[in-house]
Amino acid sequence: MRDLVPDRAGCLSVDGVGITRKGKALLDVSRLSLDGPGPTLILGPNGAGKSLLLRCLHGLIVPDQGQVRQDGAILNAEHKARQAMVFQQPVLLRRSVAANLDFVLKRQGLPRATRKIRIEELLAEGGLDGKTRQSARSLSGGEAQRLAILRALALEPETLFLDEPTSALDPSATQMIERMILRASTRGVRIVMVTHDIGQARRLAADIVMMQGGHVVEHGAAKQVLDAPESDAARRYLAGGLVT
């Protein structure tokens, strides 16, 4: 499968990563290797450590123990510059829709004419053409999240992290975002996304990381994890039971 997508980001891996606060282990992941084409969906109950793991993978948090590696090398600034992240609540500038995109394109040093074309392409990709001049703060929740994703995609990242990007949205807004994510994945962006929506994992995931209590309890092909989970924790979570 990898051979079909040679441009895709290489191996992102976790080696003995631990985060402890007040004597409590919040994250304890001995090994995790994301080297498939993705999308990778991280699933698990509240407090499982999904967001902490995502922040470690993006280098926003330096773990107390262990390392995150990209292609075997400890995650560095160059690796991080090729990553982008979208949060549950979109963080947008108090400017127009176009200006929110122009801001990141300008930082990449693109000339004005090129930026204009890129903005049009991006807005079309997110179904926001026609909203160019609208204030970003007046967008609906779904539109604002689409703009946040476009802004991340404007960076042309190798890896895009998304932390529950649709959890505040209705089904039709969610569907539009899932389509954007799948298109980005098809174009070769590695997607690593947190969700607590099992249906969403079924729709999007190539592989699934199942977490509980700060641990990765299972990682495998989506179909295998969803239809024939190996761990009790994953079985209980998928059955809708309480996992403690």
Ligand X SMILES: Nc1ncnc2c1ncn2[C@@H]1O[C@H](COP(=O)(O)OP(=O)(O)O)[C@@H](O)[C@H]1O
Q: Footprint of ligand X on this chain (CB under 6 A)?
A: 21, 26, 44, 46-52
Pick what 198 binds: ligand X, Mg ion, none; C-beta below 5 to 8 Å, kind-dependent: none
| Residue 51 in the binding site for Mg ion (CB under 5 A) | yes
Q: Which residue carries 């994703």 as its tokens?
A: 149
Joined tokens for residue 209: 């990381």
Q: What three-state secondary structure class fits 107? A: helix
User: Which 3 state secondary structure label does DSSP give 66?
Assistant: strand
Compare residues 44 and 90 and give the one whose CB is closer to ligand X: 44
Residue 128: partners with Cβ closer than 8 Å, 6 or more residues away? 97, 143, 146, 147, 150
Nearer to Mg ion, 136 or 193 (CB): 193
HEC profile for 195-233? CCCHHHHHHHCCEEEEEECCEEEEEEEHHHHHHCCCCHH
> What is residue 75's DSSP assignment?
P
Dist CA 71 CA 224 (whole Å): 26
User: Which one of the spans 11-19, 49-57, 183-191, 230-238 is the region binding Mg ion (CB under 5 A)?
Assistant: 49-57
- If the CB atoms of residues 105 and 233 are measured against ligand X, the closer one turns out to be 233
Give the nearer residue to ligand X in terms of CB position, either 153 or 225: 225
Nearer to ligand X, 54 or 136 (CB): 54
Q: Which does 49 bind (CB under 5 to 8 A by kind): Mg ion, ligand X, none?
A: ligand X
| Partner in contact with 46, chosen from ligand X, Mg ion, none, beta carbon below 5 to 8 Å by kind | ligand X
Minimum distance from CB of 111 to ligand X (Å)? Answer: 40
**Segment near Mg ion (CB under 5 A); pick from 45-53, 56-64, 185-193, 220-228:** 45-53
